[in-house]
Structure formats: C-alpha cells, structure tokens
Amino acid sequence: MTSLTPARTEPDLSFLLDHTGHVLRTQMSAALSEIGLTPRMHCVLVHALEEERTQIQLAEIGDMDKTTMVVTVDALEKAGLAERRPSDTDRRARIIAVTEEGARLAERSQKIVDGVHQRALSALPEDERSVLVRAMHRLVSGYLATPEEVAQPVRRARQSAK
C-alpha cells in the first residue's frame, strides 16, 4: 500500500457479494449440469409450474433478457421439458407449459438447488445462518431492491461458456 492509496473505511461489500455470488453460481451450475439443466432452465421450470406464466413474466422472475429467455425455452422445448402454448386467459399471450418429464426433473433440480444452498449455509456456525439470510432478505427487499438508473448500464457478470 502506497501513501496515495485511499484508506478504506468500510468492508468491501461489493467484493464480498460478487465473489460469494459467483462461487455459488458456479457450484449451482456444476450441480445442475449433472442432470442436464442450467440454473436458468431450473428457474423457468420451477416458476412455470407455480402458475400459468408467459415467457415475459418468467424472464422478469429470472432476471433474463429476451434473447436469453428465448434460448432457454428453446433448450427446454428441445429436451421435451416444456412447450410454448396459448394462454387459457389471453389468447394473444403464449405461456410456458412444463411437460410431465419437465415436472419430474424440476422436482429433482429443486432438491439439488436446496442442497447447494444448504451446504453453503452449513459453512457458517448455526447461529449465524438465519442472521445472514434475514440480513440478505432485508437488503433485497429494502435498500438494494432496485438498481439505480445510470447512463451506462452496469453489466452483470457472465458465466463462462465451456
């Protein structure tokens, strides 16, 4: 550290959140790849099973842009896990319907996702687990709920394509 280095007065929260998020995403990707899914595919399957949802609604839930969502649903359709169908309530809208095979795989993938999360939390002492989860919920629903409007959009970290 040189004399020109500014003194840090707070923990580097950006690094802590980015790093743990990146590692958790890589663990999730590796775990789900064992059953042929990506985290995005899992997200679409699980949320499409909850209720009738359009591709746009599912993209918002999964924080995906249109192109990523189309590619994800195309992969689910190709694998026979989901299909695009007309909505029962709005004939102009198309929903993502999960097939029986997709529903079975979503059940398996949810167990995998829960296991990844459980292993991450088990790295903490038991009394700190609920504190971390409550604090993260408070940030996500409060101060860090909505991104700032900026002239140059901030890009999210991408998963490397292997």
Q: How distant is the alpha carbon of residue 12 from its chain centre?
A: 23
Contact between 49 and 66 (Cβ < 8 Å) = no
The answer to whether position 119 is within a domain reads yes
Write out pLDDT tens, residues 92-129.
Answer: 888 999 999 999 999 999 999 999 999 999 999 999 99
The answer to whether position 28 is within a domain reads no
The answer to whether position 56 is within a domain reads yes
The single residue listed with the structure tokens 């359709």 is 77
pTM (predicted TM-score): 0.85
Total structural domains within the chain: 1
Checking if the pLDDT of 62 tops 70, the result is: yes
First to last CA, the chain: 37
CATH number at residue 100: 1.10.10.10
Domain of residue 104: give its range.
38-141
pLDDT tier at 1, thresholds 50, 70, 90: low
